[in-house]
A and B are shown apart, each in its own frame.
Chain A
Amino acid sequence: MTDTLKSICEQCTHLHNPQLEFIPAGIQRQREIILRDLKELISAASLEREKSVVVLAGGLFESVLYCFIQAQSDYIAARRGSFTFDPEHSLENYVSIFNRWFSTVFTVPDAVVDYRDMVHLNQELKQPPEACRNAAPEMLRLLDTLLGKLSEYAGG
């Protein structure tokens, strides 16, 4: 059984055919950025570029959560009492907000933030030697699952 990044990515149907209905029509530029980055992610995976995959997938987690949380601001405000979307938040913040209000849809593990932070040398040095090799396929699968779940949520 092959488990190259390319083969893993090919099994990730939501990365290849993203349904981004959870992004409101009014924020078209964000959608275009996400679609561009997904194409680049697939390209990096097909070339077995594990670091590129980790960094790009981490950026996509941030972009997707940014757009989803922004779109769900009214829902969060209704449940929380008040909520104002902050476009300056970090990925860690977005993960925390998402896991608090949408854990029935999907839970994003904290490791995603650590993996994305490997863009910085000092952060990668804190990780075990094979962290990038292990993180790349996990990021692909987790991002694929997130996109699938958000698509279901928006469609439901």
Chain B
Amino acid sequence: MLEVDYVCMANLAQFDMGIRGREARIRALLEDVTQYHRGIYPQNLLALAVWFGRSPEGQEQRLLELFSGLPNDGFANTRFSLLWKTGVERPPFVNIRATSVEHFSRLLRESPEQLAPYKENYEVLYFDKRLVSPDILDVFDVITEPPGLIKGWYITESEYEKSKSIQGLASLHEHARPEFGLVKLEESADFENSRGVLHVEVTQKWLPISPEGIRAYTYYNDYQAGRYVYFLFEGGALYKVLKFEVKTAPEYAGRLLGKTPDDRYPEVYLRAVHPLAQPAA
């Protein structure tokens, strides 16, 4: 009996591996299509690719593609073999529904019921968050940052000294991609002091920085060298870094998008700098 159980389990495992293997293979073939389509229209970049109605064992696969700036207001349908690279025309096939980000966004607002098929058993294969509106990312549960994340830029001591106002600093930085993110863990009642976990953007997602990882960053090394370090956040709030402190906190994994390998996080302690504050001596 025991041997039979072993045989059954082994068969099940093989069956499972077979399904998983086929699913991985189909996903890889679909990703190859999306990779090709990323550069197919230089003026209309691929913004999102969703494998929907997933059935890895089927002969027909379905893919939704949204492009930025396409002028059309409808869907364009294409079907071809997923083995296109080899030049053969046989299963599995992909059925692509392509449209513009703008059109999809409009449908989302005006008749979301039309989009229900795309949410059936779907998987996001590719996205470029610079090209997709947040409402579309929400629809497909693409989460790129933890709740409460605020983003900002490092202001060096010399830059702070030269600055005339916080507004002036903001105007110099707000057009640039943020250099770090912060999830506040604690803030004083008067909002003067706060403490939080620093984040870095990795493949479009904001992940916590590890104690080893933070050593690469100029703000950390400038602080270690005894310089004043300032953080400017989106919206124009300016803070001075008081200290960095590494804390072991396995509980953070539940509120952040990722975790550090050993559950240790460098926390930063900040104090607000007010608009009328004079430059540091």
Once bound together, how far apart are the Cα atoms of A79 and B23, in whole Å?
12
Query: Which listed residue, B27, B156, B200, B224, touches A81 by the CB 8 Å rule?
Result: B27
A109 CA to B154 CA, complexed, in Å: 16
A119 within 8 A of B: no
A113-140 CB contact bits vs B (8 Å, 1 = yes)?
A: 0100000000000111111011101100
* Contact (Cβ within 8 A) A137 B159: no
A34 contacts the other chain (CB 8 A): no
Chain A residue nearest to B158 in the complex (CB) = A130
Task: Out of A3, A110, A128, A135, name the residue touching B221 (CB < 8 Å).
Answer: A3
Q: B153 to chain A: which residues have CB within 8 Å?
A: 128
Q: A136: shortest Cβ distance to chain B, in Å?
A: 9
Min CB distance A56 to B, Å, is 17
Inter-chain contact B215/A81, CB cutoff 8 Å: no
Distance between B154 CB and nearest chain A CB, rounded to angstroms: 6
**Which residues of chain B (13-66) have a CB below 8 Å from chain A?**
21, 24-29, 32, 35
**Cβ of B102 under 8 Å from chain A:** no
Task: Give bound CA distance, A55 to B110, whole Å.
Answer: 47
Q: Give the interface segment out of B133-141, B170-178, B268-276.
A: B170-178
Once the chains bind, are A129 and B29 in contact (CB under 8 Å)?
Answer: no
In contact, A81 and B24 (Cβ under 8 angstroms): yes
Determine the chain A residues whose CB is within 8 A of the CB of B21 once the complex forms.
81
A1: chain B residues at CB < 8 Å are 224-226
With both beta carbons as reference points, the residue of chain B lying nearest to A98 in the complex is identified as B203
A80 at the interface (CB under 8 A from B): yes
Once the chains bind, are A99 and B203 in contact (CB under 8 Å)?
A: yes
Knowing A81-B24, A81-B25, the reply to whether A110 touches B203 (Cβ < 8 A) is yes
**Interface of chain B residues 151 through 192 with chain A (CB within 8 A):** 153-154, 156, 158-159, 172-173, 175-177, 179
Q: How large is the interface on A (under 10, 10 to 19, 20 to 34, 35 or more residues)?
A: 35 or more
Is A153 among interface residues, defined by CB-CB distance under 8 A? no
Contact check, A111 vs B179: say whether CB atoms are below 8 A apart: yes
Given A3-B222, A128-B176, answer yes or no on A134-B154 (Cβ-Cβ < 8 Å).
yes
A137 with B218, Cβ < 8 A, contacts A81-B27, A111-B200, A130-B156 known:
yes
Q: A80-B28, A82-B29, A107-B207 are in contact. Are A138 and B216 (CB under 8 A)?
A: yes
Within 8 A of B (CB), among A1-44: 1, 3, 8
A54 interface residue, CB < 8 Å from B? Answer: no
A71 within 8 A of B: no
From the candidates A86, A100, A126, A141, name the one contacting B203 in the complex (CB within 8 A): A100
* Inter-subunit contact B203/A95 (CB<8 Å): yes
Please state if B173 and A128 are interface contacts (CB–CB under 8 Å). yes
Give the CA-CA distance A108 to B204 in the complex, in Å.
11
Q: Which 3 A-B pairs have the closest CB atoms?
A: A81-B24, A81-B25, A81-B28
Can you pick out 16 interface pairs between chain A and chain B where the beta carbons lie within 8 Å of each other? A80-B24, A80-B27, A81-B21, A81-B24, A81-B25, A100-B203, A110-B177, A110-B202, A127-B176, A128-B173, A130-B156, A133-B156, A134-B156, A134-B218, A138-B216, A141-B215
